[in-house]
Chains A and B, each alone.
Chain A
Amino acid sequence: MKEELDTTHIMDPVQIIRKEFASQIISETVSNNEVYFSVKKDSVVEICNYIYSHLDGQLITMFATDQRKTDGYFTVKYVFSMEGIDKFIIIQIEIEAEKTQFRSITHKIPAANWYEREIQDMFGLVPKRHPDPRRLVMFEDWPEDQYPLRKDFDINSKPPRVEGTYDYKKVEGEGIYEIAVGPVHAGVIEPGHFRFSVAGEPIINLEIRHFYTHKGIEKQFENISIDKAVFLAERVSGDNSVAHAVAFCQAIEKIASVDIPKCAKYVRTVLLELERLYNHVSDIGGIATDVGFAVGSAHAGILKEKLMQLNEHVTGSRLLRGMVMIGGVRRDVKDISDLSTRLSLLEQEFRDLIDFLIETPSLVDRIETTGIIHNDIARALHVVGPTGRASGIDYDVRRNHPYAAYPQINFDVPVRNDEDVYARTVVRSDEVLQSFSIIQQALQLLESIADADMIVDVGDIPSGCALGYTEAPRGETIYWVMMGDGKIERCKLRDPSYCNWPAIEYAVLDNIVPDFPLINKSFSLSYSGNDM
């Protein structure tokens, strides 16, 4: 018995699952680094919990599909990223068309919370005993019996608004008052609703309500051509265009079993890092803005604008759009001769900026010990990106599940343990320096190949499904695409903000209300990407 225990941690988790749950597994499919286990519906809580608590699997996304027409059932899939190996384990259950219930795993895996509520709204599949069964994506004025992601729901229909209520959590007690903010905010930011319960100055509870910008993107994917779909992916979260487009294209390329040309991989890497640069600089500048440090904010604003003008110089788009295509990229960046020199100059400017900020005590005072998100909470909610790494989570898709040119490039993944706004700022700043170095390396690799192809013809995309993933500036971005008859049957996308938003409810506790914008900025969250 003891021997068996000793070997579990070095055994392949796939083998462990096969062995442990032999009687519950109905079938198994392996494709690339994805292992799909179809399991008995009633065993799903036990299996998922085992993967989560014994095999260190992180629930990175969860979604349903409507396969009633072809197979007569819905499925619910739980995607786990496995610690230390480049593998994804996908647990799936089938739900018969008439029995629209499945067991909730949220009490075991808190990260499942929103996914289950989303499935309830979009498919009408009810997670049994979910701790918070309120509406999430569709608001209270949406009719009961309409489920947008079911195949028989017409994307162009406009169901009438109905009467309904949404109950916010109530915090009661002497001297406690509520501050409701949004969806239209005072600044130029995206819409969302925040409800603070405050006692004096400290926040004792925050409830966020999102999905104001829900635009039906996943449904839209099923209704447009595959080429247009790349443009749609670029517009899920505008400032993370490249990360979304690349993740989507990688999923399609995986289904089509094509390997894109080397040069295209290098160019994609350059674009992905250019995106990180202007986003991170913007976020660091935002910290200066939100502590009222105008000089720092102005310097960061200039640098960001220079980076965006560089984006336009390289790609014709300030947001780097229109470059990524299925099968590769639209054009080379080699002919942009001054790219490397311009980047070196900008790198120096950035170093000066960050020294200036970090040496300003009035800024550092405000951000140290502010907005702490403890490692255990970050883990439980699967907090990703710089926010996760500032809370001690050593995870970066570029290293853990390498793609594009990252396997050939040297870079560090900065991790800190101080868990506060300061840590998130420093992690971003360290990542900026890494990005500069990654781009220079990718440009050198590009130089070493003469006149190579930038794109490969993917041909007709066969039926099948696959995951595509990138490390966006905000963190892990996931696409799961299912193709059938040359069309997109289902496209589940998961922006990093979807994982990180719930964590902010913890990060603000015991902080004062005026620090909320600062904490929010340090998380750097997308509403559009979250709301889909």
Chain B
Amino acid sequence: MSIDEEIEIMGQRLHSKIKNIFGRSLSIREVDAGSCNGCEVEVNALSNPIYDMERFGIHIVASPRHADMLLVTGPVSRNMELALLKTYNATPQPILVAAMGACACNGGIFGNTYASGGGVDKFVPVDVFIPGCPPRPQAVIFGIMLAIDKLEQKISKREVVV
């Protein structure tokens, strides 16, 4: 299967899920919590005309206050810890958190040291882990899809009316 076909199939699935649950686009705030920038390269790739994730209803927003989901990269450096927590607290509930990349999953090659926090779930609750260094754009789309399934669970548990 070509990359285009892969993206198309997954994207359409994702799109219908987003439409069903939100009735609008899914808003994502990206937080770089100390990545090497490799993961950002791939998040940015998702916006290029070839992947064009906006057409599947994924929208990157400028503020956490407008976000349904935080897409966090990096192992959470000591110097970014506070900013990550502030961003999390500024995001309306229920929040979805996706940890993108090996570092965000468990610290990756940077480990758990004086400066590297050893993964996003040490600081905020994480709904999905997207492995890879960096994950390919297809993997990011797949991860977002899994996260949305979690949202359904979250909403039913809290009995929030949508």
Contacts and interface: CB of A to CB of B under 8 A. Distances in A.
Contacts of B87: 184
A215 B115 contact: yes
Interface in B93-115: 108-115
B145 interface: no
Nearest to B74: A213
Interface stretch (B19-27, B33-41, B153-161): B33-41
A155 B114 CA distance: 6
* Overall SS of chain B's interface: mixed
Interface string A497-532: 000000000000000000000000000001111010
Given A189-B32, A528-B35, A304 B114 contact: no
Interface string B55-68: 00000101110000
B77 A213 contact: yes
B83 A304 contact: no
Contacts of A321: 133
Interface stretch (B10-18, B43-51, B123-131): B43-51
Contacts of A241: 38
Contacts of B40: 188-190, 238
Interface in B54-92: 60, 62-64, 74-75, 77-80, 83, 86-87
A183 B113 contact: no
A523 to B, nearest CB: 15
A382 interface: no
B110 A220 contact: yes
A213 B32 contact: yes
A413 B15 CA distance: 47
Contacts, number: 142
Given A232-B109, A309-B3, A186 B48 contact: no
A301 B83 contact: no
A216 B42 contact: no
Contacts of A215: 34, 74-75, 77, 110, 113, 115-116
A236 interface: yes
Contacts of B44: 188
A526 B40 CA distance: 11
Interface in A197-219: 211-217, 219
Contacts of A219: 113-115
Nearest to A306: B50
B134 A304 contact: no
A235 B107 CA distance: 12
Nearest to B46: A188
Interface residues of A, number: 50
A219 B114 CA distance: 10
Interface in A294-310: 298, 301-302, 304-305, 308-309
A215 B115 CA distance: 5
A305 B77 contact: no
B115 A184 contact: no
A236 B36 contact: yes
A213 B80 contact: yes
Nearest to B29: A184
A213 B110 contact: no
Contact of A302 (B50, B62, B80, B114): B50
Contacts of B75: 215
Given A237-B37, A238-B36, A319-B38, A214 B78 contact: yes
Interface of B: 3, 30-45, 47-51, 60, 62-64, 74-75, 77-80, 83, 86-87, 108-116, 133-134, 136
The 10 closest A-B pairs by CB, nearest first: A238-B38, A216-B115, A301-B48, A186-B62, A238-B36, A238-B37, A213-B34, A235-B36, A215-B110, A212-B79
5 contacts: A155-B114, A190-B40, A191-B33, A213-B74, A215-B75
